[in-house]
A and B are shown apart, each in its own frame.
Chain A
Amino acid sequence: MIYSFVGYYSLIIGLIIGLSLFYFSYKNFNNSNILDTKILSFTFLQLFFVVISFICLIFSFVVSDFSNETVFNNSHTTKPLFYKISGTWGNHEGSLLLWLLVLTLFIFLFLVSTKNQSVKYKILTLVFQQIIIIGFFLFLILTSNPFNYIFPIPTEGLGLNPILQDPALAIHPPILYLGYVGSSIIFSSVLAATSLKIISISWASHIKKWVLISWIFLTLGILLGSIWAYYELGWGGFWFWDPVENVSLMPWLALTTLLHCILVLEKKSTLTSWVIILSIATFTLSMCGTFLVRSGILNSVHTFANDPERGLFILVFLFILIFLSILIFFIFHRDNDNKSYNFFWLSKETSILINNWFMMYFLSVVLIGTVYPIFLDVISSQKISVGPPFYHKLMIPFLIPFLLMMAIGPKLRWIKSQLEDKIYLISFLVISILLAFLVLKNFNQNFLINTILISSALYLFFITLRDFFVKKYKNISQNIAHFGFSLLILSILFNNLFASEIITNLKVGETFENSKTKIVFESVVQKKEKNYKAIVANFTISNSNGEEDRLSPELRIYNQPVIATSEAYIKTTLMSDKFIVINLVQNQDFFNVRYQVKPFMLWIWLSVILISIGGIVSFLHRR
């Protein structure tokens, strides 16, 4: 009870502080050259109250205070403590409170850490960020209050959806939001800088670290979501082109583009309009994603219980922000760096432009693929699905030149350059093609496209690998990230091409055997945990190499809410994952068994980690 009370009024106080900050900002903006200490302390206070509110919600979950509606809907006394806590952000209200926490945290860090910029710029950034913050305060308090009372107080909660009771998913939202919501600071500061016309080389290097922070967290957040989907949701898949995955991928693509584009701004003080548009687009896409997910427009695995009122609020708020940015962009921004648009064919600038060009294409594919069904439905009430084949068909052919450019681009110098080491570059290309051919020579489906794709990925792989040994190229962060990307593409390709699968029906004691694999269904054991009961099936699987594995997938019945799930058993090794999952078949005494060998699975995760390490190195390097 007390937690809900404190939490709710902390929110109200936070909102009032936000409003008062407008007043202080207004006073400070014209009068002084130093940042008013009141502004800093009030920003801190706002953060403080949001933290208090958040802690109150966590406590409500920990002590299972069912007088709180959010707790009642999403928790249960038998949940392990860890999932009681993670349940805090596993629902609509709590996750929005987390949004708010990240928003206030970032503006505070921004004010504290920004040293070499003008006071006016800082104040204006604060004002724009406060507009967003107040929007979310209102959203939270008016439509999604996490501290609603229920009376009479229920004795037991409804429980947390079992598929959310998972360690990867428990930390997925906070990490993802740091990236997702972190981009708000880029949005606010680009609007401030545009209004003050101070977009310059020094601004570029100042904002770059914020871009990097968002980018690193967003990369890791997407990774965690994908890992979770791999063993919890899908039957061996890790990326489904589900609308909600797309929605997190879009800001990532925009951020990655921005990251490259800012390099040009930092070095050559051009492409300013483009940097502004991208910065605005990044946060707008994050918001748009929130709208699509929370409003329930999309048919997706992630859809929270939805409420049209909420959707309307975010929609209106989203478009207020969009129109505000359009207004600021067209009123204040004068593009006067036309004369410096002199890029030579072989130059770093051109290669980054080409990168931007392709990235924008990928972004448009994802964006159009995600929202087109909605548009079509509204305009002609035709229902269509846009799934993986669409994205694959439109993206894969463009990936090939993209990969080649990623290999060669970083070798070019600014302004004008010559390709050096031509012999190396060409011989690597030949080696890559030969190697791809060797790997795929027994493969008959889509031979040509796969060979070319693998060749280009291998090419990037070898070139970036070699650059680690060549001292001349000292941009280590770029090299790590590009190397990671080549590894990612290669792992995904090999994973897809060489995966094998057996689907069969087995009773206890039965054996399945084909030329390569023998599956023995040894036994079934019952298991009882605090929050679920389970049937554990024990399998022994041996392959033609004489390797033998014991795998034990489970069927779980969670007690609150009563939902049956099947838990895959995954045996991960360096070279491949063995993945087995069982399912009950209605009214039959056998189990449906699905066994997959997925090569290079681990490498997909590792390469994404490598990509984000590239970002981390770059971030640390700048300090």
Chain B
Amino acid sequence: MLPFSVFIIFVIIFFIFYKALEDSKLYTPDVNIKKEMPVFNTKEFFSGENVKSSNIFKLDKIYLLNIWSSWCVPCRQEHPFLMNLNLDNKVNIIGLNYKDNFKNAKNFLKELGNPYKEIFIDLDGTIAIEWGAYGVPESFLVYNNEIIKKYIGPLNQELVDEIKLLIK
């Protein structure tokens, strides 16, 4: 009896390890869970005026919050897709300028265009954390003060199409 049960235990362990090998090993965060949007206070990018998040995000409208920075290389790749998305005018793209310096960020926008309806400053990166972000770039689709979906890493054509579909 004992040999048999020991054998069975190890067979089970084998299959669990086997299964673990097959599964994706990297941590993939849940991207579809609806979450309450955080409430925050910050400064407007160009004017430097204080703003509250509740004054920007209105109910019944769709927003895309995009975390970006001039020093972030993938943001550069992503930028044309944001410009493209902005053409539709169906979604309000809000920028969150992450740990950046004003001059560099302004040059970045001058060079690549400004798709953002409004831009806010996150100097120490804490607002990004409040949103549950991991780094730059990252985008959050917001409706009725709820995060519908988040995109980790740069957006591409495929994801832009997906966003357009979701908006409809």
The 8 Å CB contact of A311, one of B10, B21, B100, is: B21
Chain B contacts for A322, CB-based, 8 A: 10
Verify B21–A330 contact, CB threshold 8 A: no
Query: Is the CB–CB distance between A378 and B19 below 8 Å?
Result: yes
Interface residues of chain A: helix, strand, loop or mixed (majority): helix
Q: Is A299 in contact with B10, judged by CB distance below 8 angstroms?
A: no
Contact of A152 with B by CB under 8 A: no
**Complexed CA–CA distance, A416 and B56 (Å):** 81
Q: Is the CB of A315 within 8 A of B14?
A: yes
Contact assessment for A586 and B17 in the assembled complex, using a CB-CB cutoff below 8 Å: no
Q: Does A410 reach chain B (CB closer than 8 Å)? A: no
The answer to whether B71 touches A297, judged by C-beta atoms less than 8 angstroms apart, is no
How many chain B residues sit at the interface, stated as a range, is: 20 to 34
Question: Across the interface, do A323 and B10 meet the contact criterion of CB distance under 8 Å?
Answer: yes
Which chain B positions have C-beta within 8 A of A323? Answer: 7, 10
- Name the B residues within 8 Å of A299 (CB-CB): 25-27
Q: Which residues of B contact A474 (CB under 8 A)?
A: none
The answer, yes or no, to whether B165 is at the interface (CB within 8 Å) is no
Which chain A residues lie closer than 8 Å to B69 at the CB level? 586
Please indicate the chain A residues that have their CB under 8 angstroms from the CB of B16 in the complex: 374-375, 378-379
Asked if A330 meets B3 with Cβ closer than 8 Å, knowing A383-B27, A587-B100, the reply is yes
Q: Is the CB of B10 within 8 A of A377?
A: no
Range, interface on chain A: 20 to 34
Q: What is the CA–CA distance of A379 and B21 in the complex, to the nearest angstrom?
A: 13
Instruction: Tell me the complex Cα distance, A311–B17, Å.
Output: 10
- A330: chain B residues within 8 A (beta carbon): 2-3, 6
Do A315 and B18 touch across chains, with their CB atoms under 8 A apart?
Answer: yes
Say whether, besides A322-B10, A326-B6, A587-B71, A297 and B99 are in contact (CB < 8 Å).
Answer: no
**CB–CB A297/B21 < 8 A:** yes
Residues of A within 8 A of B107 (CB): none
CB-defined contacts of A296 to chain B, threshold 8 Å? 25
Q: Judge whether B20 is part of the interface by a CB distance below 8 angstroms.
A: yes
Question: A279-318 interface mask toward B, CB cutoff 8 Å, 1 = contact, 0 = none?
Answer: 0000000000001000111010000001010011001000
Tell me the nearest residue of chain B to A298, going by C-beta. Answer: B25
Q: Of B25, B27, B99, which one neighbours A586 at CB under 8 angstroms?
A: B99
Knowing A299-B27, A323-B7, A383-B27, say if A587 contacts B99 (CB, 8 Å). Answer: yes
Q: B residues within 8 A CB of A383?
A: 27
Contacts of A326 in B (CB 8 A): 3, 6-7, 10
| B84 interfacial contact with A, CB 8 Å | no
Residues of B contacting A447 in the complex (Cβ-Cβ under 8 angstroms) = none
Bound-complex Cα distance A313 to B28 (A)? 26
| A311 neighbours in B (Cβ, 8 Å) | 21
CB-based contact B17/A374 at 8 Å = yes
Nearest B residue to A589 by beta-carbon distance? B101
Q: What residues of B have a CB within 8 angstroms of the CB of A312 in the complex?
A: 18, 21
CB of B89, distance to nearest CB on chain A (Å): 32
- Please indicate which of the listed interface residues A291, A306, A375, A587 has the most CB atoms of chain B within 10 Å of its own CB: A587
Pick from B3, B20, B101: contact of A377, CB under 8 Å = B20
Q: Nearest-CB distance from A576 to chain B (Å)? A: 33
Most buried by A among B6, B16, B20: B20
Q: How far is the CB of B146 from chain A (nearest CB, A)?
A: 23
**B7 / chain A contacts, CB cutoff of 8 Å:** 323, 326
- Confirm or deny: B144 has a beta carbon within 8 angstroms of a beta carbon on chain A: no
Interface residue B162 (Cβ < 8 Å from any Cβ of A): no
B115 smallest CB distance to A (angstroms): 22
- CB proximity of A375 to chain B, nearest CB, Å: 6
Known contacts A299-B27, A587-B101; decide if A319 and B10 are in contact (CB<8 Å). yes
Which residues of chain B (88-128) have a CB below 8 Å from chain A? Answer: 99-101, 104
Q: Which residues of chain A have C-beta atoms less than 8 A from B99's C-beta?
A: 586-587
Chain B residues positioned under 8 Å from A295 (CB to CB): 21
Contact of A587 among B18, B22, B104 (CB under 8 A): B104
In chain B, what residue has the closest Cβ to A315? B17
In chain B, positions 1-50 with a C-beta closer than 8 Å to chain A are 2-3, 6-7, 10, 14, 16-23, 25-27
Instruction: Please state if A315 and B21 are interface contacts (CB–CB under 8 Å).
Output: yes
| The residue from A291, A306, A379, A587 contacting B17, defined by CB atoms under 8 A apart | A291
Which of B121-167 touch A at CB < 8 Å?
none
CB distance B20 to A378 under 8 Å?
yes
- Cα(A172)–Cα(B18), bound, Å: 30
**A297 and B25 contacting across the interface, CB-CB below 8 Å:** yes
Tell me whether B23 and A377 are in contact (CB under 8 A).
Answer: yes
Q: How far is the CA of A319 from the CA of B6 in the complex (A)?
A: 13
* Docked pose: A410 CA to B6 CA in angstroms: 34
Encoded as 1 (CB less than 8 Å from any B CB) or 0, chain A from 256 to 285 comes to 000000000000000000000000000000
Q: How far is the CB of B38 from chain A (nearest CB, A)?
A: 22
Provide the bound-state CA to CA distance between A295 and B26, in Å.
Answer: 12
Q: Which residue of chain B lies nearest to A292 when distances are taken between CB atoms in the complex?
A: B17
Whole-angstrom CA separation of A312 from B22 in the bound complex: 9
- For A585, give the chain B residue with the smallest CB separation: B99
Q: In the assembled complex, which residues on chain B have CB atoms less than 8 Å from the CB atom of A378?
A: 16, 19-20, 23
Q: Which residue of B lies closest to A291 (CB)?
A: B17
Mark A371-393 against chain B: 1 for CB-CB distance below 8 A, else 0. 00011011100010000000000
Q: List 17 A-B contacts (CB under 8 A).
A: A295-B21, A299-B25, A308-B21, A308-B22, A312-B18, A312-B21, A319-B14, A323-B10, A326-B3, A326-B10, A330-B2, A377-B20, A377-B23, A586-B69, A586-B99, A587-B101, A587-B104
Contacts A319-B10, A375-B16, A379-B16 known; 6 new A-B pairs at CB < 8 A:
A311-B21, A312-B18, A322-B10, A326-B3, A378-B16, A586-B71
* Minimum-distance CB pairs A-B, first 5: A330-B3, A587-B101, A378-B19, A586-B99, A311-B21
